Copies of this chain bind each other. A is one copy, B any other.
């Protein structure tokens, strides 16, 4: 028995040793393909829109202020909820007059690390992005002129803009609103996920199943579109390159990046989403009709990878994706300055009020 024990121990040691070598190789390959989320995104905005405490505070007020919308009821946080992974967890957002947006609301968490913004990448950064929903008829339905009139009517906002943009000849502007929003949103990053800890060398940060999932993710094609600091969000790829998914997942009317570039080759091309915090951001895809993460992996396997992933791979990759949930940002709710008699009134379509005892 003793000899057998020794043999078992030796074999076990050998396996562990062989496994350790394999583990090291996997980690090294992962370190080449991905990067941990940094503790600050400041270097990403440094030249163009430096992150200052004044801009962060102003941007935070603006982010939570429903007066950015014409109805004064919809804030950035409505569709990019900081308590829900930075999105709204519904197929597509509900906006002005209960209209629905055409695509699933992407998370703002770590969006600063994406190559460009929106599913089709039509905004090159978050300053440009912020100007979209404020003006979109199906979202906030506001205009730059009304927004500037609103902000100028509130003394605390005027002071905050002057403090945040001291060199600006016209500090209270739509452009500076978008800049402050970008800077605040650049604070909404989620470092220290188990995968980040793994990338920093802690091989115990992932479970065995997650390690197996990472292996399949890197060796069977997922990584081609989902790499870098955001595990995606870095480039543009055709959706349905192998098999076209059903119209509920890839609606025919939405041709993606082709609408931006006006190039036939870009039909049904989208920016790959970041998979950071993907476990928090169902439903999936730009159409927002797939609610299960594992089903989303299976859809990708079929449409993009020619079913190279086995059923077991799909389960393991799904487990790996759950390791991408990072430390969620701690947000103290801002105290918003009050409107004045000069503030434009909310623009709410005049629904008749029900009479009765409610309210």
Could you tell me which A residues sit within 8 Å of B by CB distance?
64-66, 71-73, 78, 81-85, 88-92, 94, 97-105, 118-120, 122, 132, 136, 138-139, 251, 253-254, 259-260, 279-280, 282, 286, 291-292, 328, 330-336, 338-339, 341, 345-346, 348-349, 351, 353-359
Contacts and interface: CB of A to CB of B under 8 A. Distances in A.
A358 B64 contact: no
B89 A349 contact: no
Nearest to A65: B83
6 contacts: A71-B90, A83-B334, A98-B351, A100-B351, A103-B358, A291-B341
A122 to B, nearest CB: 6
B82 A354 contact: no
A330 B138 CA distance: 33
Given A90-B346, A280-B338, A357-B260, A333 B73 contact: no
A351 B99 contact: yes
Given A78-B78, A90-B348, 6 more contacts: A81-B336, A90-B346, A92-B359, A101-B358, A138-B354, A292-B341
A81 B66 contact: yes
A336 B83 contact: yes
A357 B136 CA distance: 11
A103 B359 CA distance: 5
A144 to B, nearest CB: 17
Contacts of A119: 359
Given A78-B73, A100-B353, A102-B355, A94 B348 contact: yes
A358 B92 CA distance: 11
Nearest to A280: B338
